[in-house]
Amino acid sequence: MYAVIMLRGSVNIRPDIKDTLNMLRLNRVNHCVFLDENPNNEGMIRKVKDYVAWGNVNKESLEMILRMRGELIGGASLTDKYVKENTNYSTIKSLSKALFGGKTSLKDVPMITPVFRLHPPRKGHKGIKKTFQQGGALGFYGEDINYLLKQMR
């Protein structure tokens, strides 16, 4: 499962890239979505690689983001009580394990917003004009995306 975080704004970018960001539901800076690893999603991510950071998320980071930044439509927080009453899972931890394993998706949780609004990273970005491999913040992180998610929790 990929975590995709929009790091740069959408002013003065090509219309096809802007459309792709909208299809990924990334409309604002520091918004995050979780996507399955399939060729369609990978192609869209490659198209917007100069505006986002992405990588392979682990179970712990997925649970942390769901617990700290998960919201329902209307602004209420995602809680263990809500998950137990409205899904087949008893806690956010069991829901995150099922999401990570591909047994369910965020669409199966009623009223959850699919976009997670994150805090800007503590200690700042290393620069949003260079890729991660060049010492910046953009592009493919691999497993290191979990550290960025922890900074932006």
**Per-position DSSP letters for 59-82, written without gaps between them:** HHHHHHHHHHH-BBTTSPBP-HHH
Helices (H), 28-130: 39-47, 59-69, 80-86, 92-101
Structural domain boundaries in the chain? 2-58+116-151, 63-108
DSSP 21: H
pLDDT of residue 125: 85
Strand partners, 33: 4
Q: Is 86 exposed, middle or buried (0-12, 13-18, 19+ CB in 10 A)?
A: middle
Share the mean pLDDT of the chain.
Answer: 94
Per-residue pLDDT reduced to its tens digit, 66-119: 999 999 999 999 999 999 999 999 999 999 999 999 999 999 999 999 999 999
pLDDT bin (cut points 50, 70, 90) of residue 63 is very high
pLDDT of residue 54: 97
Q: What is 2-58+116-151's CATH number, 3.30.1390.20, 1.10.10.10, 3.40.50.720, 3.40.30.10?
A: 3.30.1390.20
Cβ contacts of residue 5 below 8 Å, gap of 6+?
30, 31, 32, 52, 53, 54, 118, 145, 148, 149, 152
pLDDT of residue 126: 85
Tokens of residue 8, six digits: 């740069």
Per-residue pLDDT reduced to its tens digit, 122-136: 998 888 888 888 988
Q: What span, in angstroms and rounded, lies between the C-alpha atoms of 84 and 99?
A: 15
pLDDT of residue 34: 96
pLDDT of residue 128: 86
Asked if 140 and 3 count as a contact pair (C-beta separation under 8 A), the reply is no
From the list 112, 4, 3, 120, the residue with the least C-alpha distance to 67 is 112
In the CATH scheme, what is the code of domain 63-108? 1.10.15
Q: Is 87 exposed, middle or buried (0-12, 13-18, 19+ CB in 10 A)?
A: middle
pTM for the model stands at 0.92
pLDDT of residue 45: 97
